[in-house]
Homo-oligomer: A and B are copies of this chain.
Amino acid sequence: MGEFDLIRRFFTRDQQVARVGIGDDCAIFGAQVGYEHCISTDMLVEGRHFLSDVDPAALGYKALATNLSDLAAMGAQPHSFLLSIGLPQADERWLQAFSAGLFQLAQRHNCPLIGGDTTRSPLVVISITVQGLVPHGAGVLRSGARVGDDIWVSGTLGDAALGLALLQERIRVGDPDERERAISRLHWPEPRVALGMELASIASSMMDLSDGLAGDLLHILRASHRKAAVELAHLPMRAALRGLPRMQALSLATAGGDDYELLFTAEPRASARIEQLAEDHELPLSRIGRILPLAGGELPQIEWLLDGRPTQFEAQGFDHFDD
């Protein structure tokens, strides 16, 4: 089967977003007056981000989910995406499952595939570029955190890292439901797209948690030239994490990646609106700390508190070239 047949069979679906979609040299789509475009890209490599025996449906889903999460972090509405995929062979069942996982999420977010590239490759490699729209000037940057802002996170922290630890049998959890849920969070993360769009008019800075709270919050602090105090006792954790030894739980919650929750800052007077959003979305939104000014010569950093008192705590985010 040829490359072009493959693309057509598994990756061509009806779409209304682009005037020209898959099958020409470029996709073509019109601009929308009053809006800005947000664009982001991610690459996933076999052996690095997933194992060769990964469930292809989960892989297709997660590859798009992580990109939609980047749009959510800007407060953007998904527009469309492009998929480049390198494969050792054109395995029909694999492609069937992969595309089913991918399009399940794409359809839910009205984000059609409008272009891409397919090539043979010794390893499975997936690169997705996603585009979104945001009202002019409304995109939420990492650089907007102001002194006195509260720091918030959506959902719960450390679930995906716990899921990975469970799969690797580094940690045991008795409750089969909690076990299942942690592993599901790892494979099927939920990009917080609708929440992100509503936070666009509330949050002063925002990003998605892909590498772990400690490392990701540092990106906001560096971009905003601020520091932060974070209360470890306020980190939202599910029962499975709370049942672990405290340091192990805190390590998962602060340094565990792949949660794809939103991390954002907002003025204290926005609290009521944020709490209302939590109710509307049936999703916990937790205030975990506060943005502080940098003293002269100080570097952006996180001061960890435990029950209100400064504590020595070392959390390290995930960095692709540091391990």
Binding site for B on A (CB under 8 A): 1-4, 6, 19-20, 23-33, 35-45, 47-49, 70-71, 73-74, 76, 82-86, 89-90, 114-123, 125, 127, 129, 131-132, 134, 136, 139, 141-143, 206-208, 219, 223, 319-322
Contact = CB atoms under 8 A, between A and B. Distances in A.
Contacts of A26: 38-40, 70-71, 73-74, 76, 132, 139
Of A114, A119, A206, A321, the most chain B CB neighbours within 10 A belong to A321
Contacts of A131: 39
A174 to B, nearest CB: 35
Contacts of A48: 86, 119-122
Given A25-B73, A31-B31, A43-B125, 17 more contacts: A2-B321, A23-B142, A24-B143, A25-B206, A26-B76, A28-B139, A29-B39, A39-B114, A39-B131, A40-B82, A40-B115, A41-B129, A44-B119, A45-B121, A47-B122, A48-B120, A120-B320
A321 B1 contact: yes
B321 A28 contact: no
B125 A86 contact: yes
Contacts of A121: 43, 45, 48, 123, 125
15 contacts: A1-B321, A3-B320, A24-B223, A25-B71, A25-B73, A26-B71, A26-B74, A31-B33, A33-B33, A40-B115, A41-B116, A43-B86, A43-B117, A43-B125, A125-B127
Contacts of A120: 45, 48, 320-321
Contacts of A84: 41-43, 127
Nearest to A119: B320
A41 B117 contact: yes
A88 to B, nearest CB: 10
A296 to B, nearest CB: 24
A120 B223 CA distance: 24
Of A25, A49, A322, the most chain B CB neighbours within 10 A belong to A25
A151 to B, nearest CB: 17
Given A25-B74, A48-B119, A31 B37 contact: yes
Nearest to A319: B2
B82 A39 contact: yes
A119 B123 CA distance: 14
Contact of A3 (B36, B118, B141, B319): B319
